Amino acid sequence: MLTIVILSLFLYSVSGYFTLPGKCPENVTLQKDFKLPDFYGKWHQAYHYSSDGLMKNNCSKLILDTKPSGAYWNQSRVDRGLFHRYSMAKLDIPIKIEDAANLNVTFTFHDAPRRLRVRSYPFRVLATNYNYYATVYTCQYSPLIDKHFSKYFGISF
């Protein structure tokens, strides 16, 4: 009986990390005729779905803005309901106008170890009306385990 209780407690406390097999999908339908200047401003995260099963809303606020050195994405969020975190990422703007919704963001963390100091992520705008809603997709591939981790964000103005 004691073995069953211990086994039950062990199984109850185990949680898994959910990822999807293979590389990130490349046939994602993006917003047609996307205009980045119309997308500038402050956006609030209303919802997000991630492939690891975490449905936590961390009250993210995204601000797209330009500076003399380029376009930037400023993200502020509340981690675990306790800490405010701020991240600044530079937008890599595509040259071709038909790839305008196919953005990449590059974060630089000065206090991180050297191999983690610069991190780049895709930032794909799937749909937006530029005023009230946007659906954004991001995905990362790990060649070590041949799986990818993806997130979908619903953000509102």
Distance from the first to the final alpha carbon of the chain? 56
pLDDT tens across 46-57, in order?
666 665 555 555
Q: Which amino acid is at 149?
A: F
Query: According to the model, what pLDDT value does residue 15 have?
Result: 30
Cβ-count burial of 105 within 10 angstroms (0-12 exposed, 13-18 middle, 19+ buried)?
buried
Q: Which residue has the higher pLDDT, 37 or 155?
A: 37
Question: Smallest Cα–Cα separation from 122: which of 143, 157, 95, 150?
Answer: 150
Q: Which residue has the higher pLDDT, 9 or 93?
A: 93
Q: Per-residue pLDDT averaged across 68-80, rounded?
A: 65
Kindly tell me if the per-residue pLDDT of 9 is higher than 50: no
| DSSP string of 133-151, one letter each residue | -EEEEEEEEETTTTEEEEE
Q: Per-residue pLDDT averaged across 115-123, rounded?
A: 81
Query: According to the model, what pLDDT value does residue 130 have?
Result: 83
Q: Per-residue pLDDT averaged across 73-93, rounded?
A: 67
Q: Per-residue pLDDT averaged across 11-21, rounded?
A: 43
CA gap 134, 30 in Å, rounded:
11
Q: Which residue has the higher pLDDT, 146 or 31?
A: 31
Backbone φ and ψ for 31, nearest 5 degrees, come out as -60, 130
Contact 140, 148 (CB under 8 A): yes
Question: Smallest Cα–Cα separation from 70: which of 106, 123, 38, 116?
Answer: 106
Query: According to the model, what pLDDT value does residue 140 have?
Result: 75
Kindly tell me if the per-residue pLDDT of 127 is higher than 80: yes
pTM above 0.85, yes or no: no
Residue-averaged pLDDT of the chain: 69
Q: Which residue has the higher pLDDT, 14 or 27?
A: 27
User: Per CATH, is 36-156 categorized as 2.40.128.20?
Assistant: yes
